[in-house]
Amino acid sequence: MQHHDFDAETFERKLAQEESALLIDVRTPQEYEAGHIPGAVNINMYDPAFSARVQELDKNRPVYLYCRSGSRSYVAAELLARIGFRSVFNLRRGIVGWTGPITQPASSA
């Protein structure tokens, strides 16, 4: 099984079409809190428990991954495909290339 890389427009369109899709932000919690794609779950790829956490997910559910530039999520997508996830999609260029909405952090004022 291999994963697929999509540009932002295709990624956003396909994600919207998949009701059961799981959107995973593989960045650090600090990066996630600074702004993320709405609906994303944060599973930090640098966390030693990353492999264990993704093993708990439903491998039949489509998984959409992103990071800052697309590098970490590419590696994560390769891992998920290798361990048996059926549909794995990576956001090419990461959140940097994302053109859709972003959840901004709450202001601390």
- Tell me the domains of the chain and their CATH numbers: 4-97 (3.40.250.10)
List phi, psi (to 5°) of 72.
Answer: -60, -45
pLDDT range class, residue 64, cuts 50, 70, 90:
very high
How confident is the model over 86-98, as a mean pLDDT?
96
- 13 has catalytic annotation: no
Strand partners, 58: none
- pLDDT at position 105: 80
Residue 108 is predicted with a pLDDT of 53
Mean pLDDT of 82-94: 96
**Whether pLDDT at 7 is above 60:** yes
For strands 41-42 and 4-6, give the pairing.
Answer: unpaired
Three-class secondary structure of residue 103 per DSSP: strand
What global pTM score does this model have? 0.94
Tell me the average pLDDT across 70-97.
96
If you average pLDDT over every residue of the chain, what do you get?
94
Query: Which one is catalytic: 8, 22, 54, 67?
Result: 67
pLDDT score recorded for residue 2: 81
For residue range 15-60, list pLDDT tens digits in order. Answer: 999 999 999 999 999 999 999 999 999 999 999 999 999 999 999 9
What letter does residue 60 receive in the DSSP assignment?
Answer: T
